[in-house]
Chains A and B, each alone.
Chain A
């Protein structure tokens, strides 16, 4: 093998992004994002009777099942000739031209073949994808979907976590099982927990198609998503379905008043070895065309389980976003991936999500892991409970509604307890299980299933058996909740059953707001036509986005500082010039000992002064503490003090901890030594600074001091405090008072 690489490359190799896999483009294996040589030249031939007889280079006799279904159900032949004649670039321009209404693009796209739309969307740059997404998504108000699962299918923890997800603003919750037999119990627990958290949260349990439908029919879930489509016939059939079985399934859900979307995703065919040499994006274009042809209202795509396959090839991440836009073009609900974790790198996974986050979609994530990574039974998500605060702060940074909101700790604690208690009581009432207090207390407090050792793995299985055998429906759950004293939650779940009867949430991109209004393509259509239009967070929602729990005001800081006010700084009198050559003055800022007692490093100002004075003493100097009342500038504080010192040497100290050595003959902004990064200064360094000031006073050689450096984002941590502290200092200024000599008493 080759020689050992140089240190720079050994170091680069250690970085997390290099754990990801990157593939050389290989069209034969389907490892190509856009434009494989085997992708067809788009074509569409319609006979006199309006029958599609050629689709993307294939004549009717050669249609596979996907072609055949799209040809017979998915093409609006009345606009086919018009749109197929349009130049790819001209059509692409319509997507980003805010002067062309969404409805016009939707009208044209209805007549386009998969191959045509694949070529058109391949034209768009990332920035154009963002604008097109902003304009083309179905629902005006963006939203988000959570995963709520855990390793033990613990119903108490599922309920508490579902309530938590609802509190953070998720409007859809998807659960699944590590153990298939646990599915009914999980569906019930998550539905109850979601209802505790908020009215109108939709719940699904992702399992095998037939079982999922069964759960829906029993009312135990309120929507479905795990109805997978593939872009080649072989893989579709390997998935044990055909377009007709899936179309029938789609209708079966609607016949019970249940919302449903399908799942697709670029790279899945390549992953299963059946891409037939086509690009991921062309195959995805077929899936999306098929979804529309079947009459599904929406699509979950953007790689999903194969996002990392798309991510491994050039342009792959761009193609994931283009897939989502394809769904919007087809006038369907877009649940835009950002689901399975596609990189070990924090930078890369953020980069993959960010354009969609700022463009806005019907559901930014089709599975934000609201639980910890290890508890996600779909596998870790792109975003997890580890990242909820990051996400909330990203919303605030960009004034973007990513569907989440800040939840206060006491409220989440209350909801988790109520959710766990409701499940315990309902399970007892329905004869599903007896769950003990120790388990419940652990589940309420838990950050994840590792914190719930009391969970009994047999409980969900046994509860599920009883649910299926005795035919428990959501009506029974409503009855049980009511009987156990949870009338509010009983009403909320009954409202979800009413929603099935009304059917308004079968329309495209439907969610419920907290007042149970349906927000959909029909009731809340996207009206973006450029700046000043479309959705933007305002009023209460803007306040919610802006008000993160970590924010601090000057008042908060003053309260925090007041707790440190144990030292008394008393004014002895006006400071007089000294004459002793051993006299060194420590000039402190105006707020010192009046409003500010603690420096940014956490040391008290009096401890800092003690170190400085001790350092001076080591060099045989005598320190005096003088408060400078007419300036916040540390250079001027130091210079003012130096002019009072018998030695002509002074130390300037701001209450926040920044310190320097000054000499009376220097310009105000010059200094002899400076500790500029207050949060990192240690007691030893303050003492050394005192000692050096003494050496300057005596004319001997000071020890060179190094500012401590750190790889932390010190400025991010402290700059907001600095702004407040400087404002407090400024508020303490009084130019009418000259420098005052202080006694510092501890």
Chain B
């Protein structure tokens, strides 16, 4: 079995535990270390891009659902100014989500060039 994001071992997350109300949402969320492990498996199976995705995902495990949805929305066409995207990138970076921060900055640069920033 695997350790959930909460640190609890999956083997403890039984139907009995659910019945007794002893299972929290984080007990059924994936741990970033598990995603890192899956990334190494993807690399070993000739897909470094899938590995990169799983590493971005590992960083996002610590973001609340609402913030994940908000960042996604901010990255959609003409939703954000360059400054807004930089604010998001910096915020992600400050919490260790460096790969995602880089992705947002790369987007900002491409959007600027292709007219996909807000108000463009």
Query: What residues of chain A have their CB less than 8 Å away from a CB belonging to chain B?
Result: 64-65, 68-69, 72-74, 76, 103, 106-107, 110, 209-210, 213-214, 217, 219, 233, 237, 240-242, 244-245, 247-257, 292-297, 331-332, 473-475, 478-479, 482-483, 487, 490-491, 494, 497-498, 500-504, 506-508, 521-522
Task: Please name all residues of chain B whose beta carbon is closer than 8 Å to the beta carbon of A251 when the two chains form the complex.
Answer: 53-54, 56-57, 60, 100
Identify the closest chain B residue to A68 (Cβ): B110
Residues of chain B within 8 A (CB-CB) of A64 are 114
Contacts between chains A and B (CB distance < 8 A), count:
184
B30 at the interface (CB under 8 A from A): yes
Q: Which residue of B lies closest to A72 (CB)?
A: B106
A478 touches B15 (CB 8 A): yes
8 closest Cβ pairs, A-B complex: A295-B53, A254-B57, A244-B107, A255-B60, A257-B30, A245-B75, A251-B56, A255-B57
* Chain A contacts for B14, CB-based, 8 A: 494
0/1 string, B57-94, CB within 8 A of A gives 1: 11111010100110111011100000000000000000
Out of A214, A242, A293, A487, which one reaches B75, CB within 8 Å? A242
CB distance from A133 to the nearest CB of B (A): 18
* 24 pairs, CB–CB < 8 Å, chain A vs chain B: A64-B114, A65-B116, A103-B46, A210-B69, A237-B116, A244-B103, A244-B106, A244-B107, A254-B35, A255-B60, A292-B47, A297-B47, A331-B45, A478-B18, A482-B19, A494-B15, A500-B29, A501-B10, A501-B30, A504-B38, A506-B38, A508-B45, A508-B47, A522-B41
Q: How far is the CB of B76 from chain A (nearest CB, A)?
A: 5
Please name all residues of chain B whose beta carbon is closer than 8 Å to the beta carbon of A245 when the two chains form the complex. Answer: 72, 75-77, 107
Q: Which residues of B contact A (CB under 8 A)?
A: 1-5, 10, 13-15, 18-19, 23, 25, 28-31, 34-35, 37-38, 41-42, 45-54, 56-61, 63, 65, 68-69, 71-73, 75-77, 100, 103-104, 106-107, 110-111, 114, 116
Chain B residues near A507 (CB-CB < 8 A): 38, 41-42, 45, 50
A241 touches B76 (CB 8 A): yes
A507 vs B47: C-alpha distance when bound (angstroms): 10
Cα of A64 to Cα of B113 in the assembled complex, Å:
9
* CA distance in complex: A296, B49 (Å): 8
Q: Closest residue of chain A to B61, judged by CB?
A: A255
Complex CA distance for A507 and B61, rounded to whole angstroms: 18
C-alpha gap A250/B100 in the complex (Å): 12
Contacts beyond the supplied A256-B29, A502-B10: 7 A-B pairs with Cβ under 8 Å: A68-B110, A237-B116, A257-B30, A296-B53, A498-B28, A506-B38, A522-B45
Chain B residues lying within 8 Å of A65, measured Cβ to Cβ, are 110, 114, 116
The secondary structure that dominates the A interface is: helix
Task: Please name the residue on chain B nearest to A245 by beta carbon.
Answer: B75
**Docked pose: A72 CA to B47 CA in angstroms:** 15
B-chain residues with CB within 8 Å of residue A209 when the two chains form the complex:
72
Question: Is B54's CB under 8 angstroms from A254's CB?
Answer: yes
When A242-B76, A508-B47 are in contact, do A248 and B30 touch as well, CB less than 8 Å?
A: no
Report chain B residues within 8 Å CB of A241: 76-77
> Which listed residue (A103, A257, A490) contacts B15, Cβ 8 A?
A490
Q: Are A213 and B69 in contact (CB under 8 A)?
A: yes
Residues of B contacting A254 in the complex (Cβ-Cβ under 8 angstroms): 35, 53-54, 56-57, 60
CB pair A498–B30 under 8 Å, yes or no, is: no
